[in-house]
Amino acid sequence: MVIAAVITGIIAAIGTPSLMGMLQGDQVKQGLDQIQLALQDAQKQAIRNSKKCTIMVEKKTGDDHFSIDIKDPTLPTNQGCLGTSDRELSNNVDITMTSTMTTGVTFSFKGNMAGTGKTIVVKPARGTGEKRCLVITQGLGMMRTGIYDSSASDNPPTAANCKKITDN
């Protein structure tokens, strides 16, 4: 009986770090998915409503998490194009963005993105783990996701370090 308890304890001790890593990876993927879906939704709304739509990804003062701000500061009364409430991201993820992200991502009525291309990197807030990235191309506003090169600096992130996810 004691031997079974010891073996169970050893197996649990070995499995816990990999389980925690898997959970962190899921949270990072979920955070990136939330951002990508909000951006795609904003792009669709800009086309559907024939007016520009701006999305801000920011950490508000006093918050311990990032949010996707739907209020467009360039529109009257700060109205948003994605409904009436901001979308909150988990406080277990941290985000690094290109400096041009401070003004948000603006899609024209054609779905094109104004300004330069943008890169967003989502990583675990604590510890190390896989970094995921989203790149939005200048002009057409096409989006791609990938794994961010862990050996590269993510301050500021660059599109060249966002590697395509390959299926093995």
Q: Tens of pLDDT along the chain (168 residues)?
A: 778 777 777 776 665 556 666 677 778 888 888 888 888 888 888 888 888 888 877 776 666 667 776 655 555 555 667 666 667 777 778 888 877 666 778 888 888 887 778 888 888 887 777 888 888 888 788 888 888 887 777 778 888 888 887 654
- Domains of the chain in start order, with CATH, are 22-164 (3.55.40.10)
Count of beta carbons in the 10 Å neighbourhood of residue 153: 10
User: How far lies 50's CA from each of 27, 42, 132, in Å?
Assistant: 34, 12, 32
DSSP, res 56? E
